[in-house]
Amino acid sequence: KEQPIENEQPSAEQPSTEETAEAKVEEAAVEKVEEKADETAEEKAEETAEEKADETAEEKADETAEEKAEETAEEKADETAEEKAEETAEEKAEETAEEKAEEKAEETAEEKADETAEEKADETAEEKADETAEEKAEETAEEKADETAEEKAEETAEKKAEETAEAKAEETTQQKAEPADLPADEAADAGESRQDPPGTPVPAAVASEIPRAPTLPEERAKREAAAAAAAAASEEPEEESEESLSALKPVWAFGMNRHVPVISLATSERDVVFYACANSAVLYDVNANKQRILRGHTNAITCTAASNDKRWLVTGDAGLDSAVIIWDSRTAVPVRTMFEPHPNGVYAVALNPNSRFLCTLSAEANQTFAIWNWTTGEELSLCSATLSSAYGIQRYISFNADDNSHVVTNSDHQVLFFQWGEGKVEYFAPPLTDKDFNKPVGRYCHSVFLRKSTKAISATSQGLCVVWDSNKPLTKMSTEATPDKRAVKLVPLHEKGITVLTQTDEIIVTGDTAGHVKFFDQNLQLLYWYQHFKFGPVSSISFKYQSLPAQTGAANDDDRLSLKSQPTMDPLYDTDATIPANPFFVRDFVIGTSSAVFANVDVKESRAHIIHRDFDAAVRAIDVHPTMTKIAIGGKSGYLKIWNYQTKLTECSRHIEGKASSSAIRCIKFDPAGEFLAVGHEGGLLRILDADTLSDVMEENFHYSRDCITHIVFSDDSRYLATADKEFTTSLYERERGRPWTYVGRHRAHYKEIHDLLFGVQIDTGYNRLLSLGKDRYLVEYDIPNASKDNLPVMTSDRIEQNGVPLCMTWYPPIVKEQFLLTANDEYKYKLYNCTTKKCRNTFLGPTYGSPVRKICILPHPNAQPTDRRYAVFMLNDKIGLTILPLDGNPYNSVGCVAHPQGVANMACSADGRFLFTAGGEDATVQMWSVHPAVLDAQSKLGGPDLIPFYSLMEGGREGELFKELEDYFYYAQLRAQGIDSMETRWVSERIPIAEIPFVMRGLGFYPSEQEIDNMMNEIKFSRYVDTGEYVTDIDLGEFIRLYVNHRPVFGLSLDRIFKAFKVLGEAKGEEFLVDRGDILDLLQNSGEHMTEYELAEYLTTLLGFNPEGGSFELEEFNPATAGDLIDAHIPARIGASGFVEDLLGFGPVAARQKSSQAAGSRSQSARPKSVQISSSEAQTL
C-alpha cells in the first residue's frame, strides 16, 4: 500500500551523522533544565499542552496529516518571533507530541526517532533566531519526556511513521521540538510490520487509504492481555463468558453411554464427535479439546440419530417425563422438543435422508412404530402402528435411501419391514429359523436396505449376513419395492459375531466383536478391511461428512477428495502383474466400542487415534486433590486414572489386575497433604498409592477387612487413616513421620451398615477424633489416644435418632459459636448435634426433591471468615443440590437438579469450592459442575423475607384454614397456661410458654413423641443461651410456625406403616392380619417410649369416647376404676389394622387403602366421636 515518491531527495539541511544531532539535543536539554526552574513556566507549559492537545484531537482529527502540517506551518510562520517565540515553542512542542501520538504507524522506531531528532535539532538551530524560543522548545521537550516518557514516546514513534508525508516531514520538523526517543525494544516492535525502508515518504492519496495500525500501547495491551489470559489459563479452568443462570451448571462430562452409538459430525471445517453421557449429550471438539453439553432429558439417553449432512441431531430417553429433542449441531440449541411422544419414552429414533421425517419406536412391551413430521410442529404423528410383544424389543431403525416410505427395524430375533404413507402403516415380519438354511442364524444387530435394489440385509451374531428380497417376484408391470420380504440366503462375512452394520456411499461397512472393520460392495464382495484395531467389540461406526470421487477414479477438484489423499498402489510392485482395480475411497470415520473407547480412523494414514478411553463398568469412587486441579476416578473394572480438570487431560492411569473382588474399586481418598491416594476394593483390600504416579507405596497391601470397604477417611494431619466395611467394622491405620503405614486395630461397634465415617479435632486438646454413623441410628466415637495394637476402643456410643435413620454427617462450619455435627436422615430432616454432648440442638426441613439427602459436604471457601456466607452441596438418589447456610428450613434456600437418572453414587468438591464432581455408578460417567452461589442467593430473595416462605408450606398459606386454626390454638394455649377453670382476670399476649408447644402441635395434627417434644423445647430453650447465658421460656407465633414446619413429618402420617406393622405382628386370617388385644396393649405400654397402665387406660377410653376431650390435662381427673371393663367391652379380642385405624384412632374409612377388610370381629360397635385428641404416646403407635 505504501509507495515511495519518485525522484525524492533527502533534505539538504539534514545532518550527516546521528551522533551530532543526539549530542546537540542532549546538551541543549540539559542546559535548559538547569536554567529553567520556574514552576510557573512548567505549569503553563503543561496547561497549554493539555488544552492544545484536546483542541487538536477534537478539531483536527478528521484532517489529513499533510493539511494539518501545512496549516500549522503557515499560521505559525506569520507570527512575530519575539512575541510568540516562547508561546509558540510551548504550544508546538505539545501539539507535535499529541499529533504524532495520533498519526504514527509501525516502522523502525529507533531509526525514525533518530532521523527526526537530527532533522529537528538542525532545523531548529538554523531557523529559530530567538534563543529564548529555542530554549523553551528544548525545555518543553525535556519536560514532556520526563512527564510522559513511556506513553507519549511510544505513541509518537508509532504514529509518525504511518501518516508522515513529505511536506509534513519538512515543514513540521522546522517548527516543532523533538519528543523523547523510543526504547530500543519498543522501537523494534513498532517497525516489525513495515515493508518500506525507514523514512520512506508516502503520497498523500495513498496515505489516506492506509488503515490505521494499532498504536504501541494498543499492541502492548494486547500482548499483556494475551499473557494474562495464558497465565490465567494455567491456573484456572476455562469458564463461560456469559453469566450462568443455574446454580449448578455442567461444564464437562467424563465417560459415555457405551450402549448408545458414537456419531461423527466431522466435516471439512470441523472435527466434532457426538455421544451420550447419562442424561446429557456431548458435542466434543477433538482438535480444541472442548465440550458443549446438551441437557434437556430427565432420564438416561437411550438413543441418538443424526441427519446425513450432520446438521440435525436427535436424542431420546425412556421413563417418566420422557422427551425426544431435535438439536441444531452448529448452535447446540434445541429446535424441537417432543414431550412424551410415547407414554414411556423411546428405544430408537431415526431421520430420513432429507431430515424431514422422524421415526420412533416406543419403550414398552407392545411397541409403537410412529412417523413424525417434526418440521411442522404438529403434536400428532403422521401414522403409527402397534407391534406385538412377540417381535421383541425393536432397537434399530433404517430408512430406504431410495424410497423413504420403506423402513426396516429389528430386535434380537425378528426383522420387520414397514411401508408408510397417507396416514397408514403396513408391516411384515418375515420368519427365519435355524432350520431354514440348516445353519444357526444368531441374534440380529442391524439391518439396512441395499441401494438401487429391492434387497435388504441384516447382520447377525454368527458373523452372517441375511439377505432379504421381495416375497413375490417383480414383474414388468410392477417394479416397486414391497415390505413383504423373505430371506433368500445367508452370506458369511466375519469369523466373529457382527455387532455393527451400516452404509456409506453405497459401501457396506461391518464391525465385529474382535474389533475388525470390513468394507463390502453392494454384492457383498470384500473391498477393504482393518484388523489391527485393539479397542474391543465395535459398537458403532460413523463417517465424516465429505464428498468423495466416484469409484471409477474420476475426481472433481471442487467438491471431491484429491486422489493424492487416498491410498495408492505401492510403486515397488509391477503394475503389469497386478489385477486392474479402481482405487478404494472412503471417508475418515469414528469407531466406538463396547469397552468405552472411541477413536478417529485416518483412512489416508491407515491408523486410528484414540479420542477417549473411558470406564466400561460402574464408577463409584471419586475424590479431588486437596491442592491441585486433579480428580481421581476409580471403576469397578479396576481402572484408575487421574484427570486434570483444568486441562481436561489424563495425568496418569493404572489398570489394577487380579480377581474381580481384589481389583474392583469401591472408594478412593486423597490425604490432606496430597501425597497419598488410598484405594478400597470390594474384596476388602486396602491399597495406598503415590498420588502422582499411582504406584504402590506399601510392599504389601492391607487386607484386614473381609468384605467390601465402603468408606475411607484421613485425619487432618494425615497421620491416621480409617476405613469402614460391609461387616459393620471400623479399622484404623497410622503413619508416623518417616515411617510406613501400620495397622492399629478394628472394632465392630454397629450391628447394621455404616453410613458415614468422619475425622475431627478435639476443641480443647487438639487430639484427633473418629466418629462413625450407622443405620442402627448410633453415633459412635472411638478413643484414638488409647488405641493400641489390635485394639480400637470405643469412647461413646449414642442413639441419636428415634424413628428416622441417619444417612450422612459432616462438621458444621464455624458460622455459629457452638461446634455442631450436621446430619441428614431418611425423614428429609437436617439435624445439628452438639459435638460434645451429642444432644440434638436444631432440626430443619431438608430438600424434598423425591429422596432424602444421602451425602452432604460443606462447600470449601478459602480463607473463610465467620461472617462470610457459606454453602453446602448435597446428594440425593439421582439429584444434587446447593443450599445456603446457616440452615433455617426455608425451601427457597435450596436448589437441585438431576445429575444421574440411574443414581448418584458419590460426589466431591474441588479445593477452591468452584466445582462439584458426581459419579453416576452404573452409568459409568462422572459429571463436572460449576457452582454459582449468586444464582441461589437471587432465588432466595425471590422467595420473600421473614415468614413468607414458611406460609407457603402450610396448607392454604397465610389465608388458609390451617393458619386460622393455628391462631385459635395459640390463644387457647394462653388460656390453658392460666388454667381452664380459672376465675382470675385473663391476659393475652403474643407469646405462649414453651410447655404448651406439644399441645398446639397435636391440635394441628402433628403427634410428636416424647423425645421429639424434648428436642423442640430444648431447641427454643437454648436458642440464645450461648449469646446471653439465659434460657428462653416462651415463644411467639412466628417462631412457632418455623418450629412446626421444620419438625412435622414431611409427608404426614402413613397408614401403610400401620398395615405393615399388623402384617408383621399379626396372624393371617383371609386377607386380614389380626393381633390379640392383650398383645396390642402390651406393645403400646412397653414397646417404644414407656407408657404407664394409668396413661394407657385414660388414652384408650378417651379415644373410645368415654372421656371429655382433653381428659385430665384440662377439665377433670380421670377415674380408672371402670376403664378396664370399657376396654374389654369395646375393643375386640382380636383386632386388625382396619379396625384399629377406623374404630380406635378414628381416621375414617380406609377400605380403599386396604385390599380387603373382611375380618369379622375386628370392628367395635361403639360409637366414635368425629374429632379426637391423640396423645404423643398414641403417635408412637403410628
Query: Of the given ranges (80-94, 174-188, 291-305, 673-687), which has the lowest mean pLDDT?
Result: 174-188
The reported pLDDT for the residue numbered 1115 is 56
The reported pLDDT for the residue numbered 928 is 96
**DSSP letters of 1081-1113?**
HHHHHHSSS---HHHHHHHHHHHTTSS-TTGGG
More confident residue, 377 or 202: 377
pLDDT at 166 over 60: no
979 and 1071 part of one domain: no
pLDDT band at 1110 (very low <50, low <70, confident <90, very high): low
- Tell whether 1089 is covered by a domain: yes
1018 and 1096 part of one domain: no
The reported pLDDT for the residue numbered 46 is 56
Phi, then psi, of 23 in degrees rounded to 5: -65, -40
Find the mean pLDDT for residues 645-652: 91
pLDDT at 193 over 50: no
Find the mean pLDDT for residues 419-438: 92
Q: How far apart are CA 12 and CA 293, in angstroms?
A: 70
More confident residue, 1005 or 366: 366
Contact 810, 875 (CB under 8 A): no
Find the mean pLDDT for residues 617-645: 94
Is 1111 exposed, middle or buried, given 0-12, 13-18 or 19+ CB atoms closer than 10 A?
Answer: middle
Q: How far apart are CA 610 and CA 820, in angstroms?
A: 50
Find the mean pLDDT for residues 539-546: 90
The reported pLDDT for the residue numbered 748 is 95
- Tell whether 341 is covered by a domain: no
> Across the chain, what does the average pLDDT equal?
78
Helix 65-77 crosses helix 166-175 at what angle (to 10 degrees)?
40
992 and 895 part of one domain: no
Please report, rounded to a whole number, the percentage of residues in the chain having pLDDT higher than 70.
72
pLDDT band at 1138 (very low <50, low <70, confident <90, very high): confident
pLDDT at 113 over 60: no
pLDDT at 566 over 70: no
Helix (H) or strand (E) holding 83: helix 81-103
The reported pLDDT for the residue numbered 903 is 94
- Tell whether 726 is covered by a domain: no
pLDDT band at 201 (very low <50, low <70, confident <90, very high): very low
pLDDT band at 155 (very low <50, low <70, confident <90, very high): low
pLDDT at 691 over 50: yes
pLDDT band at 942 (very low <50, low <70, confident <90, very high): very high
The reported pLDDT for the residue numbered 662 is 80
Signed CA dihedral, 136, 139, 143, 145: sign only = positive
885 and 981 part of one domain: no
Q: How far apart are CA 361 and CA 375, in angstroms?
A: 19
> Of the candidates 606, 578, 393, 400, which has an alpha carbon nearest to the alpha carbon of residue 483?
400
The domain in which residue 46 lies consists of 18-220
pLDDT tens for 677-686 read 999 999 999 9
pLDDT band at 437 (very low <50, low <70, confident <90, very high): very high
pLDDT at 144 over 70: no
Domain termination site, one of 188, 220, 252: 220
pLDDT at 546 over 90: no
Domain termination site, one of 1047, 1067, 1089: 1047
- Tell whether 1034 is covered by a domain: yes
The reported pLDDT for the residue numbered 807 is 96
Within its chain, how far is the Cα of 984 from the centroid?
Answer: 65
41 and 165 part of one domain: yes
The C-alpha cell at 324 is 425426544
The reported pLDDT for the residue numbered 833 is 96
pLDDT at 16 over 50: no
Contact 638, 694 (CB under 8 A): no
Signed CA dihedral, 801, 903, 879, 866: sign only = positive
CA dihedral of residues 746, 749, 753, 757 (deg, nearest 10): -70
Contact 1009, 999 (CB under 8 A): no
Three-state secondary structure call for residue 496:
coil
Domain termination site, one of 170, 193, 220: 220
Task: Report strand pairing: 926-931 vs 248-254.
Answer: antiparallel
- Tell whether 981 is covered by a domain: yes
pLDDT at 308 over 80: yes
pLDDT at 1150 over 70: no
60-64, 127-131, 1125-1129: range with highest mean pLDDT: 1125-1129
pLDDT tens for 382-427 read 999 999 999 999 999 999 999 999 999 999 999 999 999 988 999 9
1036 and 1073 part of one domain: no
Q: Which residues contact residue 1054 at a Cβ distance below 8 angstroms, ignoring those fewer than 6 apart?
A: none
The reported pLDDT for the residue numbered 974 is 86
pLDDT band at 3 (very low <50, low <70, confident <90, very high): very low
Q: 676 pairs with which residues across the strands? A: 690
895 and 1038 part of one domain: no
The reported pLDDT for the residue numbered 785 is 92
pLDDT at 30 over 60: no
- Tell whether 98 is covered by a domain: yes
Neighbours of 1121 (CB within 10 A): 8
1146 and 1065 part of one domain: yes
- Tell whether 885 is covered by a domain: yes
Q: What is the domain-level CATH number for residue 1030?
A: 1.10.238.10
Please report, rounded to a whole number, the percentage of residues in the chain having pLDDT higher than 90.
52
- Tell whether 572 is covered by a domain: no
pLDDT at 782 over 90: yes
pLDDT tens for 1024-1073 read 888 888 999 999 999 999 999 999 998 877 788 888 888 998 888 888 89
More confident residue, 793 or 29: 793
Find the mean pLDDT for residues 542-562: 53
Q: How many domains does the chain have?
A: 4
Three-state secondary structure call for residue 35:
helix
Q: Which residues contact residue 327 at a Cβ distance below 8 angstroms, ignoring those fewer than 6 apart?
A: 281, 294, 312, 313, 314, 315, 333, 334, 335
960 and 902 part of one domain: no
Find the mean pLDDT for residues 674-701: 94
Find the mean pLDDT for residues 18-38: 49
* pTM of the predicted structure, to 2 decimals: 0.74
Q: What is the DSSP letter of 79?
A: S
pLDDT tens for 828-887 read 999 999 999 999 999 999 999 999 999 999 999 888 887 889 999 999 999 999 999 999
Signed CA dihedral, 726, 732, 735, 740: sign only = negative
935 and 963 part of one domain: no
1034 and 1097 part of one domain: no
- CA angle (617 as vertex; 628, 413 as ends), nearest 5: 150
The reported pLDDT for the residue numbered 581 is 61
The reported pLDDT for the residue numbered 1101 is 85
The C-alpha cell at 138 is 528544548
194 and 83 part of one domain: yes
Helix (H) or strand (E) holding 385: strand 383-386
